[in-house]
Amino acid sequence: MDLTTYLLFVPVALISICSPGPATMLAISNSMNYGVRRVHYSSLGNIIGQFIVASLAMMGVGALLKTSEFLFDIVKVVGAVYLIYLGVQQWRNKSKLNMNTEKSASVTSNSKIALKGLILALSNPKDIFFFTALLPQFINPDSGLWQQFAILIFSFLLFSYISLMTWASVAYKAKGWLTEESRMSWFNKLTGGVFFILGIGMLKMKRNLT
């Protein structure tokens, strides 16, 4: 892979990564409830999921999902249901925002926070289509495929991690303003509604999406 190809890949990856999605909303929610430090776990879970998805796409699973309507629908419904579940949970959340993140951190384990990020990545068919449709365009078939894959995916995962932590840090700065109970209630409803809308949107995804 030459430098020009890599420099073309970077903006494409950044545009995809910086667009707010389920992982971004989860990072913001976790930042508010547990503190920025705990977002490291959901972000780590998310990029592990993205790595698995990218690896499967390289092995041809992405192409299989594009040709099998049944398999595509399974992945799509699972992802949509999980997003809607998160949305309902967040919408019904009556807890106040706790400024003492050390105390609130004990409520949910790090493994559960990481698992949410992992599931979001694994259950989103758009990630598979992204890696299936775009990665091959930046890989030279005459060179080592897996070496190029490693460079592109490591870069993508690094950008993704930085983006999620940035969103979390920005959201945390608004935490003081949201400590008022009525404002936190609206925040929970807003984030819950976004999760719900993303889930409904996923249900409407078409199999020929690229």
Pairwise CA distance, residues 1 & 19, whole Å: 27
Pairwise CA distance, residues 124 & 81, whole Å: 11
Q: Which pLDDT belongs to residue 178?
A: 58
Per-residue pLDDT of the chain (210 residues; tens, 9 = 90+): 678 888 888 988 887 787 777 888 889 888 888 888 999 999 999 999 999 988 887 776 555 556 667 776 776 787 678 778 777 876 776 554 444 444 445 557 889 999 999 998 888 766 776 787 677 777 776 777 788 888 999 999 999 999 999 989 988 887 766 555 556 667 677 777 877 887 787 677 665 544
Q: Which pLDDT belongs to residue 99?
A: 46
pTM attached to this predicted model: 0.71
Task: Please report, for residues 119, 154, 165, the alpha-carbon distance to residue 111 in angstroms, rounded to integers and kept in the order given.
Answer: 12, 23, 18
Q: Which pLDDT belongs to residue 102?
A: 47
Q: Which pLDDT belongs to residue 42?
A: 94
Q: Which pLDDT belongs to residue 210?
A: 42
Q: Which pLDDT belongs to residue 120?
A: 87
Pairwise CA distance, residues 44 & 21, whole Å: 16
Amino acid letter at 4?
T
Encoded tokens for 4: 């020009």
